[in-house]
Structure 1
Amino acid sequence: MSDALPPPAPAAPGRTDAFALLVADVYEAAGALRRLGERTAATEGLTQARWQVLSAASEQPVTVPQAARRLGVTRQNVQRVANDLVERGHAAFAGNPEHRGSPLLTLTPTGRTALERVTERAAAHHRVLLGTLPEQDVTAARALLRRLLTELDREERAAAE
C-alpha cells in the first residue's frame, strides 16, 4: 500500500481550488527537496539542519538568534544544532564584542570543507533537475513564489498589528 496522495481530480478546479492545489504541490515539493537535501548532506556526515546552520554562518559569524531568524526556525532549534556542530568540530563559538551573552558561531576549516563539498553535490543535483525543466518555467515559478511570499508577509504583518 502506497503513502502517495491520489492524483488530483481531472475536473478544472475553481480559482480557490487551484490555489489550494498549488499550496499542496509546494508542500509536496518541499518534502521531496528536504529528502534530497538529507541524502545530499549525509554524504558529508551532516543533516540538512546542520548544513543549513553551517550555511547561515558561512559568510560571516552569526549569533544563534541571527541564524534562527535567517532560517525561519526557533532559536532553541538552532542552538541545539550549533552545539552539535561545535561538538563535531565543524563550528566554534567566538566572543561577540557587541553582546557578551550571545557568542558568534564560526565555521572551522573542517566545517567549511564539509559545507563546500555538500554544496557542490547539491549544485550537481540542481543541474540535473534543471536540465529537465525549461528555464523560462523555472523563472516564472520563482517569480510567482516570490509574489506569494510578499503577500504572505503582508498578511502576517497585518495580523500582527
Structure 2
Amino acid sequence: MRDEAALLVADVFEAAGALRRLGERTAGAEGLTQARWQVLSVVSEDPLTVPQAARRLGVSRQNVQRVANDLVAGELAALAPNPDHRGSPLLTLTPRGRDSLARVTDRAAKLHRTLFGDIPDEEISATRASLRRLLDQLDRHEGAVGEQ
C-alpha cells in the first residue's frame, strides 16, 4: 500500500503541474496570468481584504498584494473602503475585471468539457471524493510532520 500511496502522491504532483501550465495558457489567452485569474475569482462574489484573499487561496499576503496592485493598475480591480478596518481596504472587481473573469472562466469551462469529455461523470465524482478525503486527512495532520 505504501508504494501505491507514493505513486499517487507523484501522480497528484504531476497532474497539479500540468493543470498549472494549462491554467497559465488559458489565462494568458485572455491577457491574464493564472495568479491574476485566481485573485479575480476569489473576490468575485464578495470583496475581500488582501489578507482574507490570501488565506482563501492558501498563499502569502505579499503575493496577493503584488497581484492586487497589478489588477488595480490594470483597472481590473479597485480598492474600496473597508468599514471594519480603515487600514485594510477591500479588493473588488471593476466592470472590466468582471468581463475578463467571465471570458477566462468561459474559456476554462470549454476546455474542461474537452479535457474530461471521455471520462465518465461517475469516475470524476469518485476521484473527487477520494481527493477530498485525502485533503481532509492532510488538514488533520498538517502539523504532525513538524511534531515528530
TM normalised by structure 1 equals: 0.88
2:22 is the alignment partner of 1:45: no
- Partner of 2:21 in structure 1? 35
Listed one character per residue, the Cα deviations across residues 60-94 of structure 1 (whole Å, up to 9, x for unaligned) are: 10000110011000000000000000001100001
Give the superposition deviation at 1:159: 6.4
2:69 is the alignment partner of 1:79: no
How many angstroms apart in 1 are the aligned matches of 2:142 and 2:22?
30
Q: Percent identity?
A: 71
Equivalenced residues, count? 147
Secondary structure in structure 2 of the residue aligned to 1:38: helix
What does 1:4-153 align with in structure 2 at a 5 Å threshold?
A: 15-153=1-139
5+ long unaligned stretches in structure 2: none
Amino acid at match of 1:130: F
5+ long unaligned stretches in structure 1: 1-14
Secondary structure in structure 1 of the residue aligned to 2:129: helix
Of the two, which has the highest radius of gyration?
1
The RMSD of aligned alpha carbons is 1.3
How many angstroms apart in 2 are the aligned matches of 1:29 and 1:91?
31
Give the superposition deviation at 1:35: 0.7
TM normalised by structure 2 equals: 0.95
